[in-house]
Structure 1
Amino acid sequence: MAQAFPQGHLAYGIQLPIQSQSTMYAEPWEADAGPGDLAEIARTADRSGFAYIACCDHVAIPRRLAGPMSTIWYDPVATLSFLAGITENVRLLSHVAIVGLRHPLATAKQYATLDHLSGGRLILGVGAGHVQEEFDALGADFAGRGKVLDETVDALRAALGPEEYPEHHGERYQFSGLGQRPRPAQERVPIWVGGSSVPAVRRAATRGDGWLPQGDRRDQLPAQIEKLKRLREEAGNSDPVTVGTIAEPLYVGEPDWEVGRWTLSGKPEALAESLREYTAMGVQQIQVRFRSRSRSELVDQMAAFGAEVAPHLNG
């Protein structure tokens, strides 16, 4: 069992700005931001009780997608390692690592080192990926990426375990008698599976310690969670699973600018009441995001959430 947070407690984390700048969610000020801004945001998360900070993963973006996706995607291992050195408690989440792009021993070497250096703060979020040119350029199997991911998760379980000489004998990957140190600081690194497709939910149910939905609305989550738990029970897995969600954009207080029709704003107690609805559905962690016009406004929003909203999330 690899539970990152206590059962019955609603934790909150954040996918960091700046490190990925898709037009779906990036704010205009991020285009000119840099490492110093990223560092201050991570320190604010650490001070404000955030359970984790998260970084995405893409190696290269083709021109046909550069408009909506941009080409700004920081490497998750390098970024989280940098931020591990300037924070103390906040956990480090890859949301999500496209582990099918790389051999699992190479992935394990990177993330085991990160966990070791950070004192056991890693949460490994994994996903199948969706950019075919990226797979083609790296010689990875795009058409079979779901099946590859299934085996890669199994291989990573072994390679990130306590054994100095891990073993895995699968259809695509086989290794034994190869030592890797340092070992992770955690006895079992939590692996959270991202995605809301039928295969992704099945993968989270049968192989994951947690589930990271992608794009599920509030009214869709209960049925998805019920399916997740049913599939987990049918697979004979009795370990608890950390169910997450991405909350609507937030703004603590009454904004004096247009924050968008889907943004939740208002008094801290009202925001907490709305977010507690996720707890009633069976969600254990929410990924929050804030509308902002500058780094300073984002930092202020994060601090206000930690001080004024978070105390009301758990009763």
Structure 2
Amino acid sequence: MEFGIHIGARGALAAPAHLAAVARQAEALGYATIGIPDRLVLPRAVATRYPYTEDGVWVGAQTGECLDVIGALCFLAGITRRVRLLPSVLVVPYRPAVVAAKMLATVDVLSGGRLIAGVGVGWLEEEYAPLGAPAFARRGAVTDAYLAAMQALWTEEAPSVAGPDVAFENLLFQPKPVQSRVPVWVGGESLAAMRRTVRFGDAWYPASHNHATPFDTPERLAAGMARLAQAADAAGRDPGTIGTVLLWFKPVDWTERRTTDGARRMFTGSTADLREDAAALAAIGVRQVIVVLQAPTIEETEDRLARFAADVIAPAQG
């Protein structure tokens, strides 16, 4: 099983030198993937409930400083050589389908074929209107239409699409991505996200701590994977062709933390505990875990990257 890192290109890591240092260190230490979230503007008032905290409050609203994910990934493409580059995740309705397809293809070309297209529908309703995005209530249908259009643009010589949400015909779309098929990881924890994965995805990419549908234990995640397999069977797709990648959406901590029911929270505790957690996820068939190691300072972040690599990645990979 592989490991990647999820880093917010904001705060200390919005500084180019710091972002570059973390990316180079992650690559040198054997992390497989660097994921950066998609955030363009932040409303000063957020009423939408945040899915990934118990109280529904999003602490990210405290600062508006954030780099564009595509620009940040292009920057990383130029300073790394091996690590895969992941929008974690690209909120598909935020950009017209043709524009998003070109942006992602550009990342793949500049990186020499290292893009993973992490995609999702987003959760922050207040961000939709300022971007001129389609109605928040239609985000699922729009995402499906845009993804179909993007795949046509990436793979067809004279792509044409006709639909209510996106339409074009007989375009020249060059350069194509370096990869003959750009891997698509579909984010989300709902049944709709699973069905979207079956239709478009190479992997399902749920976050661990959605309080409506938590996947914060191997047992809960395995149950979700079983539902994904059922959705694949119903659609006539072999479930074995779909991987699972878990975004562990709580900070890794070498101090033990407890869940509300008193159990030890995964990826907290001793080195042995962390290794046990990694082994448990590998045992149920998880392909990769994307972890959060970002700390308030660049020095702390680098220390955590090195420690997790030594304690967990090296033993897990033999």
Which bin holds the TM-score, normalised by the shorter protein? 0.7 to 0.9
2:288 aligns to what? 285
Structure 2 counterpart of 1:236, one-letter code: G
2:33 aligns to what? 52
1:13 aligns to what? 4
Which of 268, 271, 286 matches 1:264?
Answer: 268
Task: Return 181-190 or 241-250, whichever deviates more.
Answer: 241-250
2:140 aligns to what? 146
Distance apart, 1:306 and its partner CA: 2.3
1:116-162 per-position Cα deviation (integer Å, ceiling 9, x unaligned):
1110000011111122232222142211111111111111111122x
Which of 245, 248, 251 matches 1:249?
Answer: 251
Question: Residues 291, 55 of structure 1: CA spacing in aligned structure 2 closer, same or farther, 3 A cutoff?
Answer: closer
Give the secondary-structure state (helix, strand or coil) at the position aligned to 2:45.
Answer: helix
Give the secondary-structure state (helix, strand or coil) at the position aligned to 2:244.
Answer: strand
Matches within 5 A, 1:1-315: 10-17=1-8, 19-20=9-10, 30=11, 34-65=15-46, 68-70=59-61, 71-137=64-130, 138-161=132-155, 163-214=156-207, 215=209, 216-218=215-217, 219-238=219-238, 240-247=241-248, 248-251=250-253, 261=258, 262=265, 264-267=268-271, 269-290=272-293, 292-314=295-317
TM-score norm. by structure 2 comes to: 0.84
1:5 aligns to what? none
C-alpha separation in 1, matches of 2:127 and 2:39: 8
Indicate if the aligned counterparts of 2:14 and 2:67 stay in contact, CA closer than 8 A: no
2:261 aligns to what? none
- Aligned-residue RMSD, C-alpha: 2.2
C-alpha separation in 2, matches of 1:213 and 1:73: 23
Task: Return 178-187 or 286-295, whichever deviates more.
Answer: 286-295
1:152-200 per-position Cα deviation (integer Å, ceiling 9, x unaligned):
1111111122x34322233321222111211111000011111102211
Indicate if the aligned counterparts of 1:56 and 1:74 stay in contact, CA closer than 8 A: no
Question: Identity across aligned pairs (percent)?
Answer: 36
Question: Residues 244, 117 of structure 1: CA spacing in aligned structure 2 closer, same or farther, 3 A cutoff?
Answer: same
Question: Residues 33, 102 of structure 1: CA spacing in aligned structure 2 closer, same or farther, 3 A cutoff?
Answer: closer
C-alpha separation in 2, matches of 1:38 and 1:202: 35
Give the secondary-structure state (helix, strand or coil) at the position aligned to 1:130.
Answer: coil
In the alignment of these two chains, the number of paired residues is 289
C-alpha separation in 1, matches of 2:154 and 2:195: 22
Indicate if the aligned counterparts of 1:11 and 1:284 stay in contact, CA closer than 8 A: yes
Q: Which runs of 5+ in 2 are unaligned?
A: 48-57, 210-214, 259-264
